[in-house]
Structure 1
């Protein structure tokens, strides 16, 4: 990867040094979506390598090839200025290697927290045995999630599917995803369950066309942009990725890959790109992860409100159209 801000990340020897490097340069890339996410990748890569160095000093070299992968907004290359942690580890060979890789996963989690990435509230991190397993156990776990097909297991699966390898063996993650898609396509009823799993959308626009800010607590007078604006696009394009066998986690890449077969869906790509830019415009003064997804109504001009309402409505429209495609095809399969 071409470095955006110099070569410091390759020479930093502690989490504190990486944290200072991140704080020094992140403002320089905070208005450009691609540069910002590339910088996050650089920072996380430097942190993981530092963690691996610490563990190797105590435990020796990794006992098997492995893949460290990102999920969530990091997996989709859609992080904003502040982000929490969503990551896992897949390792080859025996489950007897679990202790080593869980130790590495915990060290990575601690390091990323020091650097500035808040721990995931749902514990979707490589320090959790659920997200740090051997390749064979990962395949079994994903199979189990799809067999159980309850709300929690399908939520875990959707989280997992928005993933990409940052360090290590790309083929491990690809193998698991391909097997998961094979299972889904062999059981078309799973498409309906996957739609149901994300079918609730927190509305940001009321029946009279007004924006709907939160009414209580820290969200009072603020819009939760992640839930009301981003989720409809992200969830819709993930569902279409399941159907079309698209392995790429990025929403923008998914848009590009369906362009030929779904031109009516592809037209929503521009709205999603505008939403990414809109979010960054209002994050320049954000100082914590808790603030990262909230925009105060008082910050918005009349034109800002008009633009945001349009972007939200287009997300709802996209989700509705993709839901109809899946419903119609599942009816044909039954």
Structure 2
């Protein structure tokens, strides 16, 4: 059953609802699906092109990297390999096969091409280190977003130390140029407002979303960005937000009270969105489907995330005298 992408697709279809009401079981299941997909792709490429020409790691980013996927998810992944760039073609072929396999299994293609089939996300350790430096030097909204995407990554298959090497080089650069933290913090502040001045939930006004609140952009991102800021400041390589809470609570004790809010938010999303019919709908919650108590619950969680982000930003700026 697990020897083909179609078999994995059927396994996903048969199993996903049984784990959809538990955040950790759901994300562990996603990990299994993606790992098995990479294994099938790896077997195919080895038959066609031989063994890998260098040690490598396949890693996931975005919600997969942070262990925060919902029932539906798109693809965000890359490959880092040891050695020089003249073996890149092998790993690009692998990345293309993995991307194709994941699409069959049920993970939509990434519109932004953040996939291992894209040379930007399939590089040697040295090349990724140089790319990080370029992104930080440029410090545009897009370059810092790319840096943040890569930072929210974890290895799913292969040599973890290769990705660790890339992250530690970035930490060294940030320590030498602390003003870069200010640019990153400013970049993270672009968060969609979810609660209005009169305490009302603010629905999205974009085409096809009117009447819905975008949970990821309004509720999740403040928590995610706050813990990302603190992780960057402390040199913490863990990508999942829950893992960052655990790793950082001794250094920043104030975050302990917010961890339960974030876990509550994870449960809140699954409670209402596990029945979403596709990836486009999985983050959209119709406000008129919520009871008065549920609206109060969501407004509280949004406000707490905003508060956590403000505190984290203030602490990092104070530490660095920015």
TM range, normalised to the smaller chain? over 0.9
Counterparts of 2:76 and 2:297, CA distance in 1? 30
Match for residue 311 of structure 2? 321
Q: Is the 8 A contact 2:99 2:115 kept in 1?
A: yes
1:209 shift after superposition: 0.3
Deviates more, 1:294-303 or 1:205-214: 294-303
- Aligned pairs for 1:148-159 within 5 A: 148-159=138-149
Pairs aligned (count)? 322
- Cα deviation 1:279-329 (Å, max 9, x = unaligned): 000123211100111011122111110100000000000011111112222
Q: 2:85 aligns with which of 79, 95, 99?
A: 95
Pairing 1:173–2:160 present: no
Deviates more, 1:213-222 or 1:15-24: 213-222
Q: 1:49 aligns with which of 25, 36, 39?
A: 39
- Cα deviation 1:1-54 (Å, max 9, x = unaligned): xxxxxxxxxx51211111001110011100001100000000000111111112
Q: Is the 8 A contact 1:214 1:223 kept in 2?
A: yes
In structure 1, runs of 5+ residues without a counterpart are 1-10
Counterparts of 2:285 and 2:248, CA distance in 1? 31
Q: Is the 8 A contact 1:89 1:132 kept in 2?
A: yes
- Aligned pairs for 1:159-198 within 5 A: 159-198=149-188
Counterparts of 1:325 and 1:70, CA distance in 2? 29
Counterparts of 2:264 and 2:251, CA distance in 1? 23
Q: Is the 8 A contact 1:258 1:266 kept in 2?
A: no
Match for residue 105 of structure 1? 95
Displaced runs of 4 or more, over 6 A: none
1:133 shift after superposition: 0.7
Q: Is the 8 A contact 1:91 1:133 kept in 2?
A: yes
Counterparts of 2:222 and 2:4, CA distance in 1? 39
1:217 shift after superposition: 2.1
CA-atom RMSD in angstroms: 1.1
The residue matched to 2:213 in structure 1 has which SS? strand
The residue matched to 2:280 in structure 1 has which SS? helix
Match for residue 279 of structure 1? 269
Counterparts of 2:314 and 2:21, CA distance in 1? 36
Counterparts of 1:53 and 1:291, CA distance in 2? 34
Q: 1:261 aligns with which of 228, 251, 272?
A: 251
Counterparts of 1:183 and 1:241, CA distance in 2? 15
The residue matched to 1:98 in structure 2 has which SS? helix
CA 1:119–1:261 in structure 2 vs 1: closer, same or farther (change >3 Å)?
Answer: same
- Cα deviation 1:63-86 (Å, max 9, x = unaligned): 111100010110011111111110
Q: 1:65 aligns with which of 29, 38, 55?
A: 55
Q: 1:289 aligns with which of 279, 296, 316?
A: 279
Q: Is the 8 A contact 1:184 1:191 kept in 2?
A: yes
Q: 2:6 aligns with which of 16, 25, 39?
A: 16
Match for residue 310 of structure 1? 300
- Cα deviation 1:235-286 (Å, max 9, x = unaligned): 1100000111111011111111221222222211010000000000012321
Q: 1:228 aligns with which of 190, 206, 218?
A: 218
Q: 1:36 aligns with which of 26, 31, 34?
A: 26
- Cα deviation 1:142-171 (Å, max 9, x = unaligned): 122122222211111100000100000000
Q: Is the 8 A contact 2:27 2:67 kept in 1?
A: yes
Q: Is the 8 A contact 2:274 2:282 kept in 1?
A: no
The residue matched to 1:93 in structure 2 has which SS? coil
Q: Is the 8 A contact 2:70 2:274 kept in 1?
A: no
The residue matched to 1:218 in structure 2 has which SS? coil
- Cα deviation 1:208-232 (Å, max 9, x = unaligned): 0000012342211101000000000
Normalised TM-score (structure 2): 0.98
